[in-house]
Amino acid sequence: MPRQVDEDLFESTKMTFGEHLDELRRALFKAIIALVIGFLIGLLFGYDLVDYVQTPLRKALRGHYGRLATEEYQQYLGQRQSEGLPVPEDAAAATSMFTEQELVAEEHYVDPRQLLEMLSTALPGVIDPASLPDYDPLAPIRHENLVTLRLYHDLDRDSRLRLVGLGAQEPFLVYMKASLVLGAVLASPFVFYFIWEFVASGLYLHERRYVHIFLPFSIGLFLAGAALAFFFAFKYVLAFLLWFYEVLGIDPDLRISDWLTFVLIMPLGFGISFQLPLVMLFLERIGIFSIATYLSHWRISILVICFIAMVLTPSDPQSMMLMAVPLVFLYFGGILLCKLMPRRTTPFGEVIE
C-alpha cells in the first residue's frame, strides 16, 4: 500500500468541509461577477459580433450562388446553341463574369412593343412613333408576345446572402445571445482562474504550482480548438451542407438564430476536445491509466478519436480530419506530458497520493 506524505507538514493547510463550501461560494460569486462585467462589455460589441460571425456563411453562400449562376448561364448558352442562335466562341471566358466579376443573372419577360413605346416617349425624336407596331396596353398579355430579358447584378447585392429572422423578437434575442457569448469569452480567463483557485484550496502546497501551469495551458488549447473550427472547419462544413442544397435543388433560406447556435456549438466541441492532454494527465495521476496503457492501446485510441470527430462534426470528411488529426497529435502530446510531469514518489519508489 503506498505510504502517505507526512501529514503534519501540511496540517496548517487543511480545511474543514464548511470552509470548502465557503471557498466554493466565493469562487462562484467572483465567477458570476466576471460574467456580468463581460456581458456588459459584450453589449457594446454585440452588433459587430453578429455581423462578424456571418462572414464564413456569407462566403459560402457567395460560392454557392456563384456556382449556380455559372451552371445556369452554361445551360442558357446550350439552349441558344440548340436553337441555332449565336453563342460566344469561348464559353469559359464568357462564364468568367460569374466567377471573377461575381455577377448574378436574372431572367425577366418584357413586352417589346411596350418597351418601344416607353422609349419613344422618354426619348422623343430618337424613335419614330409612326414606325412602331400597333400596341394596345389593355389587351391581354400573351406569353408568345414576350421576350426574355437577362438582367445582371453584383453578387454582393443579392438578397439571398442575407440571413432572415422569423420572429419580431428574434433580432433582439440574437443580439443578447451574441453579447452573452462575447462576455463569456472575455470573462473565461477569470472564470477559469477562480475555478482553479477553488481547486487549489484543496491541494497541498507542492501541488498548487500546477494551477499556474494547467490554467494557461487549458485556455490556450480551448482557444486553439475554437479558432480551428471558426477559421478553417466552417469552410468545409458549409461547402458540404450547401452541396446538398445544390443536389436537391433547394434554395437555402437560413435563419440568423440557427446559424448563431451552430457557430457556438461547433467551436465549443473543438475547444473541449482539445483538452485531451490535460484529461490524459489527470487520469494518469489518479491511477486509472498509465503511460504504458496509453502506448499499448494507441490504435484503439485513434479509433475512438475518429469516432468522436465524427460525432462532433457534421460528418464531412474535411472537418472530421481537421479535428481528428490534431487530436491524434495531442494524444501523443498527452503521453509526453505524462512523462515530463510524472507522479511524485518517495525515496522508496512508492507513489505519493
Q: Which pTM was predicted?
A: 0.69
What average pLDDT does the structure give for the chain?
Answer: 81
Return the C-alpha cell found at 16.
474543514
Model confidence pLDDT, tens digit, residues 45-83: 988 988 888 888 888 888 888 888 888 888 888 888 888
Phi, psi for residue 351 in degrees, rounded to 5: -70, 135
- Burial degree of 270 (CB within 10 A; 0-12, 13-18, 19+): buried
Looking at residue 349, what is its pLDDT?
43
Specify the pLDDT at position 298. 92
Can you tell me the mean pLDDT for 200-221? 73
- Tell me, what's the pLDDT at 117? 78
d(CA 342, CA 348): 16
Q: Which of 114-118, 154-158, 206-210, 238-242 is most confident? A: 238-242
Give the per-residue pLDDT at 113: 80
> Is the per-residue pLDDT at 2 higher than 70?
no
DSSP 71-129: HHHHHHHHHHHHTT----S-HHHHHHHHHTS-EEEEEEEE-HHHHHHHHHHHSBTTB-G
Q: Stretch 9-25: mean pLDDT, rounded?
A: 66
Q: What is the DSSP letter of 167?
A: S
Average pLDDT in the 168-174 region? 88
Q: What is the pLDDT of residue 205?
A: 65
Beta bridge partners of 47: none
Residue 37 has pLDDT above 60, yes or no: yes
pLDDT digits (tens, 9 = 90+) for 177-197: 889 888 888 888 888 788 877
pLDDT tens digits, 87-121: 887 777 777 777 777 888 888 888 888 888 787 77
pLDDT at position 352 is 47
Say how far residue 350 (Cα) sits from the centre of its chain.
48
Looking at the chain, the whole-number percentage of residues with pLDDT higher than 90 is 14
The Cα–Cα gap between 193 and 197 comes to 6
Question: Where are the domains positioned within the chain?
Answer: 7-54+163-340
> Higher pLDDT residue, 133 or 302?
302
Grid coordinates of 185: 469569452
